[in-house]
Amino acid sequence: MSNKTNHNSQYRINGHGHLLPSPQDIPAFMKDKKFFWVDENKAFMCQGDWKRPITDPSFFLEEKIAWMQANNIDHEVILSLSQLYCNGINEQDTFDIIRFQNDFNASVQEQHPHLFTTGFVVQPAHMEQALNEIERCHRMGMKFLCLSTHYQTTNGEWLSVCDKSVEPIWQLADTLKLAIEIHPYDAGKMVNLTDHFWRYHLVWMMAQTADTHLMFTYNGFAQKYPNVRTSFAHGSMLSQANFGRTIQGIEGRPDLFPNAHHPTETLKQSNVFFDTLVHDIHTLELMIKRNGVKQIIWGVDDPYPLGEMATVDGCYPGVLFDQAIEAGVLSKTDCEAMMGQNVINWLGFEPR
């Protein structure tokens, strides 16, 4: 399929991208303690005894800019690195790692404000630190917060970031009128299964997002925090199929849902968004029917191979839109909204 989407003249914003620091920019302590590093040849990103191939040059800043130009992407929203969510890491190391990550992202936005809006991350297990870091990043001009779907408490328990224990973060985000991105990671620490056939990424990370979307819905966070605009990565695709079951559950066993909000209350809320990285037009169509076109934002998830990348033959940024237009699932006007105004509505400002 030709790269048709890349030939229109509309200002296009990718609402889900990633960026690696260069090897020399990563503090030595992060490699010494095996938290995270990139090898000198920029061939692998490493963490502990794990390493993952760097599959595209656009993981790095200058190559990213060239890739954006080649693919007609005018502006990109850069999330925090999932590997730096700091689950299970002590308070001081968490402080140092997160300070590095957020300062790196802030520098990218400061150097290239017309190209990038960058997010910042906090670790809810260390709440006072997290709240102070939100204030600091907001003072630096950063306007959206990245949260992992789940965090590990200092007692080793896993909780959703939409658990009531995290409400101080949501309260502050509401006061500051932040956008929030919910993104999964660390499925392998939560699920006692061998990662055969990349199942953590293909199934369990999607389940993590669905679980936190469920907690977000039942706890009524969209209603409690109306100034927060929340986007769920990868379309929270399992949530879309599971919606009817969440209704059946609360109506069939209301005794298990004291003070819970009904799932229909969050449906099509103007402050709840989902990105388009769902890989097929049928899931995209269901997501649109559930939530409405205005709540869907373009997400490429570049440069990872599960994103809309040329790593897969025939794939490119916007390929799903082209397929959806050909199938009559979307109009060109719908696609333009998802690449433009909808992303602006989520961020709460126009990045130019």
- What are the b/e assignments for 207-242, b being 16+ CB within 10 Å? bbbbbbbbbbbbbbbbeebeebbbbbbbbbbbbbeb
Supply the angle between the helices 91-111 and 127-139 in degrees, to the nearest 10.
10
Provide the token pair at 142: 């950063």
3-class SS letters over 158-172: EEECCCHHHHHHHHH
Helix (H, G, I), strand (E, B) or coil at 178: coil
Residues paired with residue 150 on neighbouring β-strands, in sequence order: 160
pLDDT of residue 7: 42
Is 0.85 surpassed by the pTM of this model? yes
Which helix (H) or strand (E) is 151 found in, with range? strand 150-152
pLDDT of residue 9: 60
pLDDT of residue 4: 56
Written as tens digits, the pLDDT of the chain (352 aa) is 345 554 456 899 999 999 999 999 999 999 999 999 999 999 999 999 999 999 999 999 999 999 999 999 999 999 999 999 999 999 999 999 999 999 999 999 999 999 999 999 999 999 999 999 999 999 999 999 999 999 999 999 999 999 999 999 999 999 999 999 999 999 999 999 999 999 999 999 999 999 999 999 999 999 999 999 999 999 999 999 999 999 999 999 999 999 999 999 999 999 999 999 999 999 999 999 999 999 999 999 999 999 999 999 999 999 999 999 999 999 999 999 999 999 999 999 998 7
- The span from the CA of 301 to the CA of 16, in Å, is 5
Determine the CATH number of domain 13-347: 3.20.20.140
pLDDT of residue 217: 98
Helix (H, G, I), strand (E, B) or coil at 302: strand
Length of the chain in terms of residues written: 352
